[in-house]
Structure 1
């Protein structure tokens, strides 16, 4: 697993790439530069792991059960290796998770599955329902990686102590996913901010406005 790391100290941020993106995507598209002040001043240390979307959810050549199993291996790697290492390096007891578009799914899914490790969730244009990749097939691995399915029944107390920001925009193709997830959080009385930006589309310019704003909420 390849990964880029930015910064030397500060709150650890796990930043996922968009659909089928690589570990260098957030750097190449300017998202890292948008928060350079936070990095240079030692407020955050950003970890950009690679994705395996082409081998999991976006892999049309394998059965949906294998897509889910492949993603579970990725989740286990994050849970047992990347996140503990980020906490160890920074001396911070939790991490922030963030991502744009399908990276928002990865951030949200990880946060809701492992809230005891996550202090902040920043999703920008995220989608939180992976049934579009699984057709009519359904099993436990799909259920427990589909936030809109498992979150209503989750009662981990750490969920109520997380700083959750769902960023979307007026013309975001994923806006509906954010409203759906916000409704679930409201029903559970989990505090969060549904940030709907006017006029903007599902693209990097608005995400580069959101990300520094969201990092500024880390206490």
Structure 2
């Protein structure tokens, strides 16, 4: 398996940012870490090994980004405006700096000129990030596999009144998206998977998954909303089962 580590400067964040690449060709996929996680977690928790067949067969290439959740979503004692502004700087880093760089790396390793869209995936907070990027930028992403996510910003920003927070809350902005919005056709031509277990530590994620299911059905956006069993916990052992299962259908 082709594996490469990168550390490159981000103008959006004013610092070096690290990421890992797994694979040489196939569908390029941006992997978002779980809450407060790092770019190496996907490998360390066995997720890369769980999907290695897709990677080694040239069907999938993973780009594992670093998070700054501790400066934004998880900084509970911080000012709301600064926290969400820092998140938005990271959002801009991913879409304006990281994704173009990932495309360049992909074309070098795959020896092609791929100009298509990316997949987004992640577990827990990574599921939120992947969904947020997908629904905000369907011009960049056309596949989503979100596992055990929270999609309403109120969980991290209770009692807020801030437009930028709203714009990063998929469970809210999908509720109000107008019927003639051009994003809807992009959503309808994408592959969307939102999965949640019904075991331990999944109650809040189930509630948010219900919201997403209701809104996507109302908007007539096809999506695979999958509720797994009551023994399926909010934890890595189950995500290692879920991701290859859904990839076998999405790819």
Q: TM class, shorter-chain normalised?
A: over 0.9
Q: Does 1:111 align with 2:158?
A: no
RCO comparison, higher one (Cα < 8 Å, 6+): 1
Gaps of 5+ in 2: 1-16, 108-113
Q: Higher mean Cα deviation, 207-216 or 128-137?
A: 128-137
Give the one of 185, 191, 199 matched to 2:216: 185
The alpha carbon displacement at 1:60 in A equals 2.4
The alpha carbon displacement at 1:92 in A equals 4.5
User: Residue 164 of structure 2 corresponds to which residue in structure 1?
Assistant: 141
Q: Does 1:37 align with 2:53?
A: yes
The alpha carbon displacement at 1:25 in A equals 0.7
Q: Distance in 1 between matches of 2:103 and 2:23?
A: 14
Q: Distance in 2 between matches of 1:130 and 1:20?
A: 16
CA contact (8 A) 1:105 1:127 kept: yes
Q: Distance in 2 between matches of 1:132 and 1:126?
A: 11
User: Residue 201 of structure 1 corresponds to which residue in structure 2?
Assistant: 233
Runs of 4+ in 1 over 3 A off after TM superposition: none
Give the one of 177, 197, 208 matched to 1:169: 197
User: Residue 11 of structure 2 corresponds to which residue in structure 1?
Assistant: none
Q: Does 1:153 align with 2:169?
A: no
Give the one of 37, 51, 75 matched to 1:59: 75
The alpha carbon displacement at 1:133 in A equals 1.8
Gaps of 5+ in 1: none
Structure having the higher Rg: 2
The alpha carbon displacement at 1:79 in A equals 0.8
Give the TM-score normalised by structure 1. 0.96
Q: Distance in 1 between matches of 2:249 and 2:91?
A: 26
Match runs of 1:69-108 below 5 Å: 69-88=85-104, 89-90=106-107, 91-108=114-131
Give the TM-score normalised by structure 2. 0.84
Q: Distance in 1 between matches of 2:99 and 2:249?
A: 20
**1:77-118 superposed Cα distances (whole Å, 9 cap, x missing partner):** 111112222234241410000000010000000000001111
Q: Distance in 2 between matches of 1:3 and 1:86?
A: 10
